[in-house]
């Protein structure tokens, strides 16, 4: 059995983290499943646990002119209904898991869990989200891409926790979100896609294509996107094969119990192509 | 009492909905111990040695050496060991129980047991036949010789998991030299009889009581006999209360599932009609035969489903593989065959380039026709009007024309089907010999003493209604407690769509007798026993005669839309018409219809289970995807009244019928939407992507 701490304040939480080797639990919707034990026995945690979900200091949604700031312990159901939540993020949250799970799960938990199939990460990657990490020694602000380095792997230090998620305010003329799961609700993603674009007088001004569940981390290739910005939609659509070829190198899905690599790859590329078609 | 079909509140609804109902996992005794199963990690291996750590005081292991009687679970084919002795045949095969008071320590001991295996060559392909059946009808050889043309197609179906809400479990006590088992079970006497053999004891030494069952779907027909035998051996050794409850993953990993199947159908066609069929179905039995032979019987008897074909050559095999044993599941072999036959009729019509609907109607079974096994369809068949009604409700004909355009990615599919009610052939008369008792106490309360289990399907409510209506008493005067083998005679297992028709029939007869002989303030007991209708003749060796005393009939229409980009299937609406004889309670039958259709349609397009080298890949409710309320389409269902003379108030079977047509209906709808033939279910987006790339037409 391991010990657990339920801190009263955020400052106390950071102090506990500094002192020991604690695992932080937000909503616990992944951790409690992963560490489940025989019914009636306590979960099998391998480290002491810090329960952060009760930290009301970290439950907020604020904004200034450029950025929306989401406190790390804000649950997804709150975000789903919050007027400041970016529309794309809200669209993603709406089909995530089940209502019961949404009431306790958090963006911070999704980030640290770092599943390549996490739905919310699609929106966070597309929206250039930044993650504020904090310890008693101070804050670090990292892009979402820099925060997550592999399946279940982040750059968080042992004494750090996620304090806030910052999402720059961005407008697009076109967005598309598609999740392909085993069923229409309460399903883990087989493959997911978000496309965002701004098209002005036939010219692509901004293009973002994001895929999940197709590689060890969420795929967004800014260099490929950049190749197409400034070009006409017509031009891009006349040669989608090249663009698809670029993504083909990065979309390397696996066979597992939920789907197979052939389907995942093809469905991912078909979705991207479908999104591009909507720009015309 | 009003008309029998008029719904009453289900008598168990309040307790279940409010959460007050007690299930076996909720029960506890003082001094209770917990049991956990040690299982094989190998698909096929010889056990060289088992190293058990030193057990703390009060902890025990129980294995094959503790079995006083036979190390076999008594079923139809007695090949299933209670505990593996020297060889294991599938991953998850039980080897021993670890029993003790503290779950943590029990788990630690389970983890510390080291088993040394000598690997043997496992078989995963359907090559090793252990049961083979064959029958003919008419003269198939001549019909094939005389044919204008012949067509052959292959079909495949996958596993299906029952996915009952409540995992399997038992609690047992040992008092006064008697073993008392309480479990989540469908067949109290199957458990009792199996335990008697394993314990080699007097029948009176075993008492089996059904705990409230949180869903079963066939999954609690034969499997609980295995757990019951193991627990009885443990109780006999340790003599203290023991609880053996499976966790969800353990349950999904090791309990019986629907048999994967491969079917080849060859048709002889003359003058636009199918004159003969040659059918072979192979089912994957898993490591032990268990009930697989009986499942195979029902599958081959369903060879022509709702059609009549005069000449048949039908055969089937159960193949043994080193995988989890497969077994009973709502439909019991019929869903696999009916899927294949329905697809085949469509594919032949397409091949002949004739209208599918007209082609099917030409072959529809009629009263007076011979069944697949050369028996007789004696009773009226309402299918023509049920089909017409289903077409009208769903606007089938307009839609199938509109959806013929491959650009719309929409489809509508229709299945026609029947289900034989009760045990196959002479099973009721020769094996089950159902007995019931109606007991009237001096206070005027009437107790139904039957072994039938209410697993959510409404058996209690419907059988109590039958008794109340016949006795002309209010429902409150009827009592029906969970079966206890000390109190109820063996009215048979709660399986095979037999409970309403067979057990309900006995209840009605007993109630009629009681009413005639009723004496106020007296204790009266009425006994009743099943008598096979004398016209039912069955030859089990040749598979000829009346396989069932009665048939229920159904039509499903399923409309789908397929996403052009991802090939995900959305089921838009399901329309159904059913003939279950006389409904004993409309809401209960409609509940069966919605649940059965959901399970049947999902079998066709959604529910995926596979194994890799004998290890199941889908063993929790996250990975094994069943429909949620969001996935489930709106249903419109109409019931047709077609009373069966020997059923209570005319009732036939309703439980399985509603499942068997779902898969072909959805598969045909998908086929229309994508413009390619579907030869395997579940028709997942992954499968459809493959079909789009590789298949013709």
Whether B154 maps to a domain, the answer reads no
Q: What is the pLDDT of residue B536?
A: 86
Q: What is the pLDDT of residue B532?
A: 87
Are B583 and B461 in the same domain? no
* Among candidate residues A252, A227, A242, A232, the one with its CA nearest the CA of residue A273: A242
Are B289 and B234 in the same domain? no
Question: Residue A80: beta bridge partners?
Answer: none
Instruction: Tell me the DSSP string of B286-348.
Output: ESS-TTHHHHHHHHHHGGGTTB--SEEEEEEEEEE-SSPPP---TTTTHHHHHHHHHHHHHHH
Tell me the pLDDT band of A54, cut-offs 50, 70 and 90: very high
Are B102 and B204 in the same domain? yes
* Among candidate residues B190, B226, B259, the one with its CA nearest the CA of residue B93: B226
For B104, the closest of A41, A256, A262 (CB atoms) is A41
Instruction: Tell me the average pLDDT across A215-240.
Output: 95
Domain of residue B30, CATH code? 3.90.1170.50
Residues lower than pLDDT 70 in chain B: 695-697
Q: What is the CATH number of domain A4-168?
A: 3.30.465.10
Residue boundaries of the structural domains of chain A: 4-168, 174-279
Q: A274 to chain B: which residues are within 8 Å by CB?
A: 565
Angle at A262 between CA B126 and CA B158, to 5 degrees: 30
Structure tokens at B359: 């082609």
Are B240 and B317 in the same domain? no
Q: What is the CATH number of domain A174-279?
A: 3.30.390.50
For B566, the closest of A180, A183, A185 (CB atoms) is A180
Could A262 and B622 be called an inter-chain contact, meaning their C-beta atoms sit closer than 8 Å? no
* Among candidate residues B505, B644, B472, the one with its CA nearest the CA of residue B2: B472
Whether B143 maps to a domain, the answer reads no
Are B652 and B689 in the same domain? yes
Report how many domains make up chain B: 3
Whether B506 maps to a domain, the answer reads yes
Could A267 and B36 be called an inter-chain contact, meaning their C-beta atoms sit closer than 8 Å? no
Pairing of strands B311-320, B129-137: antiparallel
Domain of residue B497, CATH code? 3.30.365.10
Query: Is the alpha carbon torsion for B652, B654, B655, B660 positive or negative?
Result: positive
Are B551 and B677 in the same domain? yes
Are B276 and B400 in the same domain? yes
Q: What is the pLDDT of residue B424?
A: 87
* Among candidate residues B638, B637, B590, B645, the one with its CA nearest the CA of residue B458: B590
Interface list for A 128-187 with B (CB within 8 A): 178, 180, 182-187
Query: Cα distance from B388 to chain A (closest Cα, Å)?
Result: 32
Structure tokens at A221: 């290739």
Whether B275 maps to a domain, the answer reads yes
Are B229 and B306 in the same domain? no
Please state, in angstroms and as integers, the Cα–Cα distance from residue B161 to each residue in B326, B342, B387, B549, B610, following that order. Answer: 10, 23, 30, 29, 11
Are B524 and B583 in the same domain? no
* Among candidate residues B131, B115, B132, B36, the one with its CA nearest the CA of residue B79: B131
Could B617 and A271 be called an inter-chain contact, meaning their C-beta atoms sit closer than 8 Å? no
What distance in Å separates the CA atoms of residue A205 and residue B47, rounded to the nearest whole number? Answer: 68
Range of the structural domain that residue B239 is part of: 25-119+165-254
What is the complex's ipTM, to 2 decimals?
Answer: 0.96
Q: What is the pLDDT of residue A1?
A: 64
Are B341 and B414 in the same domain? yes
The secondary element (H helix, E strand) that includes residue B527 is strand B524-529
Q: What is the pLDDT of residue B533?
A: 86
Kindly report the number of other CB atoms within 10 A of residue A20's CB atom.
Answer: 14
Q: B99 to chain A: which residues are within 8 Å by CB?
A: none
Percent of chain A with pLDDT over 70: 100
Interface list for A 220-279 with B (CB within 8 A): 256-260, 262-263, 266-267, 270-271, 274
What distance in Å separates the CA atoms of residue B216 and residue B218, rounded to the nearest whole number? Answer: 5
Could B606 and A185 be called an inter-chain contact, meaning their C-beta atoms sit closer than 8 Å? no
Are B316 and B460 in the same domain? no
What distance in Å separates the CA atoms of residue B420 and residue B655, rounded to the nearest whole number? Answer: 11
Are B478 and B618 in the same domain? no
Could B566 and A267 be called an inter-chain contact, meaning their C-beta atoms sit closer than 8 Å? yes
Tell me the pLDDT band of A200, cut-offs 50, 70 and 90: very high
């Amino acid at each position: 059995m391991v010990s657990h701490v339920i801190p009263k304040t955020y400052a106390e939480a950071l102090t506990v983290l500094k002192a020991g080797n604690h695992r932080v639990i937000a909503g616990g919707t992944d951790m409690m499943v992963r560490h489940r034990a025989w019914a009636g026995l306590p979960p099998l945690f391998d480290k002491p646990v810090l329960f952060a979900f009760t930290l009301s200091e970290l439950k907020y949604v604020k904004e200034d002119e450029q950025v929306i700031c989401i406190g790390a312990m804000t649950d997804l159901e709150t975000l789903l209904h919050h007027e400041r939540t970016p529309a794309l993020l809200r669209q993603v949250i709406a089909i995530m898991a089940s209502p019961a799970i949404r009431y306790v799960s958090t963006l911070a938990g999704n980030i640290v869990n770092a599943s390549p199939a996490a739905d919310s990460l699609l929106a966070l990657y597309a929206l250039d989200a930044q993650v504020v990490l904090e310890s008693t020694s101070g804050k670090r602000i990292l892009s979402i891409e820099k925060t997550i380095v592999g399946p279940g792997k982040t750059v968080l230090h042992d004494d750090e926790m996620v304090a806030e998620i910052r999402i720059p305010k961005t407008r697009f003329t076109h967005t598309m979100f598609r999740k392909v799961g085993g069923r229409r609700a309460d399903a883990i993603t087989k493959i997911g896609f978000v496309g965002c674009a701004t098209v002005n007088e036939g010219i692509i001004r901004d293009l973002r294509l994001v895929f999940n569940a197709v590689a060890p981390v969420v795929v967004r290739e800014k260099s490929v996107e950049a190749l197409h910005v400034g070009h006409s939609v017509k031009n891009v659509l006349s040669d989608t094969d090249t663009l698809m070829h670029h993504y083909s190198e990065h979309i390397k899905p696996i066979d597992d119990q939920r789907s197979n690599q052939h389907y995942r790859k093809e469905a991912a590329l078909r979705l991207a192509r479908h999104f591009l078609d909507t720009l015309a | 009492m009003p008309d029998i079909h008029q719904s009453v509140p289900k008598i168990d609804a309040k307790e279940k909905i409010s959460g007050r109902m007690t299930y076996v996992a909720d029960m506890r005794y003082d001094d209770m111990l917990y049991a956990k199963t040690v299982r094989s990690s190998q698909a096929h291996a010889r056990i060289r040695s088992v190293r058990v750590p030193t057990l703390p005081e009060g902890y025990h292991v129980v294995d094959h050496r503790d079995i006083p009687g036979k190390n076999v679970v008594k079923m139809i084919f007695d090949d299933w060991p209670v505990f593996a002795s020297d060889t294991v045949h599938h991953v998850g095969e039980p080897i021993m129980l670890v029993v003790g008071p503290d779950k943590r320590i029990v788990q630690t001991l389970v983890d510390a047991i080291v088993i040394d295996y000598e690997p043997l060559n496992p078989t995963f392909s359907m090559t090793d036949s252990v049961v083979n059946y064959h029958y003919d009808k008419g003269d198939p050889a001549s019909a094939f010789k005389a044919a204008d043309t012949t067509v052959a197609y292959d079909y495949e179906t996958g596993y299906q998991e029952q996915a009952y809400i409540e995992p399997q479990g038992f609690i047992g006590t040992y008092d006064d030299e008697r073993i008392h088992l309480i479990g989540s079970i469908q067949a109290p006497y199957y458990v009792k009889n199996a335990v008697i053999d394993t314990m080699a004891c007097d029948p009176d030494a075993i008492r089996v009581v059904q705990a409230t069952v949180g869903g079963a779907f066939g999954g609690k027909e034969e499997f609980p006999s295995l757990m019951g035998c193991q627990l009885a051996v443990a109780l006999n050794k340790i003599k203290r209360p023991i609880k053996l409850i499976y966790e969800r993953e353990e349950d999904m990993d090791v309990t019986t599932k629907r048999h994967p199947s491969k079917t080849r159908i060859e048709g002889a066609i003359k003058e636009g009609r199918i004159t003969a069929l040659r059918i072979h179905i192979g089912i994957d039995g898993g490591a032990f035969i268990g009930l697989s032979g009986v499942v195979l019987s029902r599958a081959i008897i369903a060879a022509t489903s709702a059609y009549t074909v005069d000449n048949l050559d039908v055969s089937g095999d159960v193949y043994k593989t080193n995988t989890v044993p497969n077994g009973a599941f709502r439909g019991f072999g019929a869903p696999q065959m009916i899927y294949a036959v329905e697809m085949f009729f469509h594919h032949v019509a397409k091949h002949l380039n004739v209208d599918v609907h007209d082609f099917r109607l030409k072959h529809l079974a009629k009263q007076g026709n011979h069944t697949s096994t050369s028996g007789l369809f004696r009773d009226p068949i309402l299918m023509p009007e049920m089909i017409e009604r289903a077409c009208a409700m769903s606007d089938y004909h307009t839609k199938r024309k509109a959806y013929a355009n491959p650009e719309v990615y929409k489809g509508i599919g229709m299945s026609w089907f029947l289900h034989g009610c009760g045990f196959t052939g002479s099973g009721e008369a020769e094996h089950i010999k159902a007995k019931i008792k109606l007991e009237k106490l001096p206070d005027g309360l009437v107790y139904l003493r039957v072994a039938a289990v209410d697993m959510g399907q409404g058996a209690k409510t419907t059988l109590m209604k039958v008794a109340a209506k016949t006795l002309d008493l209010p429902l409150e005067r009827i009592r029906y407690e969970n079966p206890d083998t000390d109190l109820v005679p063996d009215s048979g297992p709660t399986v095979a769509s037999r409970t309403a028709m067979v057990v309900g029939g006995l209840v009605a007869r007993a109630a009629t007798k009681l009413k005639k002989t009723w004496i106020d303030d007296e204790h009266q007991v009425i006994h009743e026993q099943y008598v096979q209708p004398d016209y039912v003749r069955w030859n089990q060796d040749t598979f000829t005669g009346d396989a069932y005393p009665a048939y229920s009939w159904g039509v499903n229409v399923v409309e789908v839309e397929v996403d052009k980009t991802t090939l995900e299937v959305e089921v838009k609406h399901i329309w159904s018409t059913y003939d279950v004889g006389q409904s004993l309670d409309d809401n209960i039958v409609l509940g069966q219809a919605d649940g059965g259709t959901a399970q049947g349609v999902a079998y066709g397009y959604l529910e995926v289970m596979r194994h890799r080298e004998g290890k199941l890949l889908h063993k929790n409710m996250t990975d094994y995807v069943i429909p949620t309320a969001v996935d489930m389409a709106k249903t419109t269902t109409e019931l047709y009244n077609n009373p069966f003379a020997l059923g209570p108030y005319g009732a036939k079977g309703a439980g399985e019928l509603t499942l068997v047509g779902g898969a072909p209906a959805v598969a045909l709808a998908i086929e229309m939407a994508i413009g390619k033939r579907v030869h395997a279910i579940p028709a997942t987006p992954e499968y459809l992507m493959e079909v789009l790339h590789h298949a013709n037409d």
